[in-house]
Amino acid sequence: KLSERLAAVASFVPTGSTVADIGSDHAYLPCYLIHQKIATHAIAGEVVKGPYESARSQVQQEGLTNQVTVRLADGLQAITPEDQVDTITIAGMGGPLIASILAKTPSALTNVTRLILQPNIHARAIREWAMHNGFAILDEMIMEEDDKIYEVIVLQRGEMTLTEKQLLFGPLLSERKAPAFIKKWQGELAQWHKILEAIAQAENTTAMIEKRKELQYKIEMAEAI
Ligand code: SAM
């Protein structure tokens, strides 16, 4: 059974899509998308040999070798123009890593109309990349599973300008204020207060003054949620 986290990612994949799941590990998501008849074809990309082998044997076990192509490649290099991929999913990594994968091979995005990204931490990096690269937020979701809170960001082609507050908290998530959202930022807020306290006595170097300012700014924003 697919985790709730990956099921949430799957729920944003349009029916009839050709999907590339980058950093697919066991290829659970692409196999699910084919079984559910959501995707017609899928690529599972993996850069590490072990997970790549796991993906291959999973696809074989599920009898999906004709519908799921597993490739050993770095990021979007798993995709060729002939694949006609229109939807990319990247899940279970940090936001900065997801953003760097997207930034590294922009040519692979030419035919892509939707990106479904699930950062474990620092979702801000993804919103910032989107804002500067012709993608706009179509939807956002926040959920809790096994005591961890996950965000899903759905992007489509378009322009958007986000404020610092919207970059950090998410323009839709901060409007909807779901219970998981409140829980996440209350936790972060407590963490920031702790750090600020811990460095209160530190020497007043330029870097330290900057760090305090940044924390105070984030605390102010989070307290205003
Ligand atoms: N996407 C799956 C999920 O959400 O359950 C697996 C997440 S797993 C924590 C992250 C996977 O991304 C690892 O298997 C890792 O090898 C892969 N990965 C990391 N950087 C990558 C890159 N540049 N290109 C392809 N795969 C990558």
Residue pLDDT, tens place only, 72-85? 999 999 999 999 99
Which residue's CA is the closest to the ligand 1 atom numbered 14? Answer: 25
Helix 28-35 with 49-61: angle, nearest 10 deg: 20
Question: Which phi and psi angles does 3 have, rounded to 5°?
Answer: -65, 155
pLDDT score, position 225? 87
pLDDT, one tens digit for every residue, the chain (225 residues): 899 999 999 999 999 999 999 999 999 999 999 999 999 999 999 999 999 999 999 999 999 999 999 999 999 999 999 999 999 999 999 999 999 999 999 999 999 999 999 999 999 999 999 999 999 999 999 999 999 999 999 999 999 999 999 999 999 999 999 999 999 999 999 999 999 999 988 888 999 999 999 999 999 999 998
Topology of the domain comprising 4-165? Rossmann fold (3.40.50)
* Of the candidates 4, 38, 44, the residue with the CA atom closest to the CA atom of residue 21: 44
Report whether 39 contacts 18 (CB < 8 A): yes
Q: Which of 46, 118, 148, 151 to mutate to test the pocket of ligand 1 (most atoms within 8 A of CB)?
A: 46
92 CB less than 6 Å from ligand 1? yes
pLDDT score, position 201? 87
CA distances from 6 to 21, 32, 92, 117, 179 (A): 11, 9, 9, 10, 20
Which residue's CA is the closest to the ligand 1 atom numbered 8? Answer: 92
pLDDT score, position 146? 96
Pairwise CA distance, residues 12 & 5, whole Å: 12
CA distances from 85 to 68, 106, 139 (A): 12, 14, 20
Q: How many CB atoms lie within 10 A of CB 140?
A: 22
Domain ranges of the chain: 4-165, 183-223
195 CB less than 6 Å from ligand 1? no
Pairwise CA distance, residues 34 & 3, whole Å: 16
